[in-house]
Amino acid sequence: MAAKKETTSKSKKQNKDEVVDLTAPSKKIVSVDCGTMNLVSATMNEKDEVETTSMRNVYLPLDKGELGTTDLSQMSYVETEDMIYIVGEDAYRYANIFGNPVKRPMQKGLISIDDVDSLDVLAMMIEKLVGKTKNGICVYGVPAASVDKENDIIYHQNVYKRIFEELGYTSIPLNEAMAIIYSECSEDQFSGLSFSFGAGLSNCAMSYKGNPVMTFSVSRGGDWIDESVARQFGTVPNRITSIKENNTDLSNYKIGRKKERMIREGIVYYYTDLIRYTLDVIKKKINTELEDVDLPDCIPVIVSGGTSKAKGFLDLFKGIVESDEDIPFEIKEIRYADDPLTSVAEGLLIKALAEGEE
């Protein structure tokens, strides 16, 4: 009889310990990859699925007086008293129709302050992406400073911090190339070399057991390729973007009409130059700044970023790296991130979840 009572008391105690305070709001944990071309958010849902949401980081401002009888019901937009801002992919679609250029809140990987409205529209777009909360954590990606252009990320980092905090999130910045390491290199104890080839910048990080050994960016990316090729052919970058993203195979540019073949040939040359240029910076940094540092042995190389999604990119990248005899470290493998477009957001989410559990 006494033993039974004891068991009952123990059970009650266990039940008491298991009581959860239902009044405490659970934290909303999100991450945002703040890219020049795409804003990508990630969150974990109740089914343990990683949900990623992306939005083109562009908007099209339209004076309400110019619209007349234009039907807006098929567009995604936000409006103020005098202006309509078409956001996301719709902005691109309708830019040519309305004869106005799209605006981009970010240029070359960082927030652009050329347009007085861009920060406010960016805040609206971020809110559309992650929503508001009373208690949240947001880890957002930031680039490293560029080695070939004078820029700093202080303003960029703090504007995003303010936007997220005003939406109710505790915000934590994280280098976007390191986010790729967190997402893709758990099997290698978070040691590796990651590349994020974005539209505005290309970021790179070398990590040893989760510690950044080297992080930098170069001011070349997808936009640089489009602008360079457009300049060669006397056309607009948007046209090059369209060709680049449709039916361009970097291993075989000789398809399509004659002019398109010539443009694709140009695209291949500039992609090649981008890869070589970034590798040269790595070699220079390792040979000068990291001369006395013990580098990790045999590390994986992870390739990511929207610009790397071009068909044939990985083969081109491998070909250039493997033929370079001056690479000062052993390479275990060269591979894509699981999803080059969302790996940064997923890595940021992993960091956010780790923070949220502490």
Partner 1 sequence: MSILRRILLYVKAMSIKFTQKLLSERINSGEDDQYLEILKEILLELRNINNKLSDIESAPPKYSRNDELESREQTNSGSFETYKSEPFIPTIESKDGKSKGTSATTSNKKKRDVSKNIKGLKDLNSGENDGS
Q: Which residues bind partner 1 (CB under 8 A)?
A: 44-45, 47-56, 63, 65, 68, 72-73, 75-83, 87-90, 96-99, 116-117, 119-120, 123-125, 127-129, 162, 166, 182-183, 186, 189-190, 209-211, 235, 239, 246, 259, 339, 342, 346, 349-351, 353-354, 357-358
* Token pair belonging to 43: 């969150």
| Close Cβ partners of 296 (under 8 Å, ≥ 6 residues apart) | 191, 192, 206, 208, 209, 213, 329
Rounded to whole angstroms, the Cα distance separating 103 from 115 reads 8
CA–CA–CA angle 20, 26, 28 (5° rounding): 160
| DSSP symbols for 186-241 | GGGTT-EEEEEE-SS-EEEEEEETTEEEEEEEES-SHHHHHHHHHHHHTS-HHHHH
At its nearest, how many Å lie between partner 1 and the CB of residue 4?
39
Q: Which residues contact 88 (CB under 8 A, 6 or more apart)?
A: 55, 56, 58, 59, 76, 125
**In angstroms, what is the minimal distance from the CB of 58 to partner 1?**
10
Q: How far is the CB of 354 from partner 1 (least distance, A)?
A: 4
Least Å from the CB of residue 99 to partner 1: 6
**Torsional sign, CA 151, 267, 88, 95:** positive
Give me the helix-helix angle, 118-130 and 154-166, nearest 10°.
Answer: 50
CA distance 242 to 35: 19
Residue among 166 and 322 whose Cβ is closer to partner 1: 166
Which one, 97 or 154, has the nearer CB to partner 1?
97
Judged by CB, which is closer to partner 1: 119, or 321? Answer: 119
Instruction: Give the nearest distance from C-beta 357 to partner 1 in angstroms.
Output: 7
Whole-angstrom distance, CA of residue 198 vs CA of residue 348 = 16
Judged by DSSP in three states, 98 sits in helix
User: Which strand (E) or helix (H) includes residue 172?
Assistant: strand 169-175
Q: Which of 13, 192, 30, 198 is nearest to 126 (CA)?
A: 30
Taking the least distance from each CB to partner 1, the nearer of 121 and 268 is 121
- Using the minimum distance from each CB to partner 1, give the nearer residue, 6 or 89: 89
Separation of alpha carbons 173 and 186, rounded Å: 20
Closest CB 341 distance from partner 1, rounded Å: 9
Question: Which CB atom, from 78 or from 327, has the smaller least distance to partner 1?
Answer: 78
Nearer to partner 1, 319 or 356 (CB): 356
Dist CA 90 CA 78 (whole Å): 12
Nearest-CA neighbor of 307 among 204, 206, 200? Answer: 200
Q: How far is the CB of 12 from partner 1 (least distance, A)?
A: 32
Q: Decide: 297 and 209 in contact? Cβ < 8 Å.
A: no
Q: Compare residues 98 and 277 and give the one whose CB is closer to partner 1.
A: 98
Name the minimum Å distance from CB 352 to partner 1.
10
Cβ nearer to partner 1, comparing 10 with 209: 209
Minimum Å distance from CB 167 to partner 1?
Answer: 9
Toward partner 1, which CB reaches closer, 124 or 334? Answer: 124
Would strands 28-34 and 169-175 be described as parallel, antiparallel, or unpaired?
Answer: unpaired
Give me the least distance between CB of 209 and partner 1, in Å please: 5
